[in-house]
C-alpha cells in the first residue's frame, strides 16, 4: 500500500505544493500527514477526514494525503500525485521463534505461507488461453511469456478422435494455456494475434502455486 499526497494541478507550483501560503490538507492519517508536511516545510491547515477523502479538493481542501493502489480514483477526481510516496507498506507474515521447535505447527504455518504466496503470485499473473494451427505453433509459443512453458494440447482433428478412435495423423490444431505477467497482457495479446493465435481467452487466476 502507498500513502501519497495528491492535489489538483491548478494549485501546484512547478509540480510541488505551494510554500508561500497555508494550504488546507485533508487526510485520515493525521499524525503521518502532519509529520510529512512538517518535514516538507509546507504551511498548512490540517482537516481530518473519515472516508472519501478524494472528493474534498478543490472546494473543501487544497490537497489530500490518502492511500492508493493504482491511482485510478485519484485520476477520476482530477488529482495529481505530488512527489514521492509519503509512506509505503507491505504485507509480512510473522511467527514466534518458539514455533520453529514444533514440527506440527510449523507444517501448518508452511501450508498457510504457501496459500498466501499463491494468492500474491496470482495477482501478478493472468491466465491466457488460445488456439493455433500446427504451422503457427512455434511462433505462438514464442509470443507467450509464462512461468515455465505453456501447456499445449491437441484439438480434436476429426469425428473419429471424438469417439475415442486412435488417429494416426498428426494433430492440425493446438490449444495453449499460460500464466503471463499481468503488466504485459495487452502486449502479449497483440503478439499472440500477430503470431497466428485465435480464440484468445483471458481469465483471472485466484491461486498460483509453482
Q: Give the residue from 43, 65, 88 where a domain finishes.
A: 88
Domain that holds residue 56: 2-88
- Domain annotation covers residue 149: yes
Q: Are 176 and 202 in contact (CB under 8 A)?
A: no
- Domain annotation covers residue 61: yes
Question: What is the tally of structural domains in the chain?
Answer: 2
Residue 83 sits in the same domain as residue 137:
no
Q: Give the residue from 41, 66, 88 where a domain finishes.
A: 88
Q: Give the residue from 66, 88, 110 where a domain finishes.
A: 88
Ranges of H-type helices in the chain = 30-39, 72-76, 103-123, 137-142, 159-162, 185-195
pLDDT single digits (tens) 84-121 = 899 998 878 888 888 888 999 999 999 999 998 898 88
Give the chain's end-to-end CA distance (angstroms, integer): 25
CATH number at residue 185: 3.30.70.120
pLDDT single digits (tens) 16-32 = 999 999 999 999 999 99
DSSP 170: P
- Domain annotation covers residue 57: yes
Amino acid at each position: 500500500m502507498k500513502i501519497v499526497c495528491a492535489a489538483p494541478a491548478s494549485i501546484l507550483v512547478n509540480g510541488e505544493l505551494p510554500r508561500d501560503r497555508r494550504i488546507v490538507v485533508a487526510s485520515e492519517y493525521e499524525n503521518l500527514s502532519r509529520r510529512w508536511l512538517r518535514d516538507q516545510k509546507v504551511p498548512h491547515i490540517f482537516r481530518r477526514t473519515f472516508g472519501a477523502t478524494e472528493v474534498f479538493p478543490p472546494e473543501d481542501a487544497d490537497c489530500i494525503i490518502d492511500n492508493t493502489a493504482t491511482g485510478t480514483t485519484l485520476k477520476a477526481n482530477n488529482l495529481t500525485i505530488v512527489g514521492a510516496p509519503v509512506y509505503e507498506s507491505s504485507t509480512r507474515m510473522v511467527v514466534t521463534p518458539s514455533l520453529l521447535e514444533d514440527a506440527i505447527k510449523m507444517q501448518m504455518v508452511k501450508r498457510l505461507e504457501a496459500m498466501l504466496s499463491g494468492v500474491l503470485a496470482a495477482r501478478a499473473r493472468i491466465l491466457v488461453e488460445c488456439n493455433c494451427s500446427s504451422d503457427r505453433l512455434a511462433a505462438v509459443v514464442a509470443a507467450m511469456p509464462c512461468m515455465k512453458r505453456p501447456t499445449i494440447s491437441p484439438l480434436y482433428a476429426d469425428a473419429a478422435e471424438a469417439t475415442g478412435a486412435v488417429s494416426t495423423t498428426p494433430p492440425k490444431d493446438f490449444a495453449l494455456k499460460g500464466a503471463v505477467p499481468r503488466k504485459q497482457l495487452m502486449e502479449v495479446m497483440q503478439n499472440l494475434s500477430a503470431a497466428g493465435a485465435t480464440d484468445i481467452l483471458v481469465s483471472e487466476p485466484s491461486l498460483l502455486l509453482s
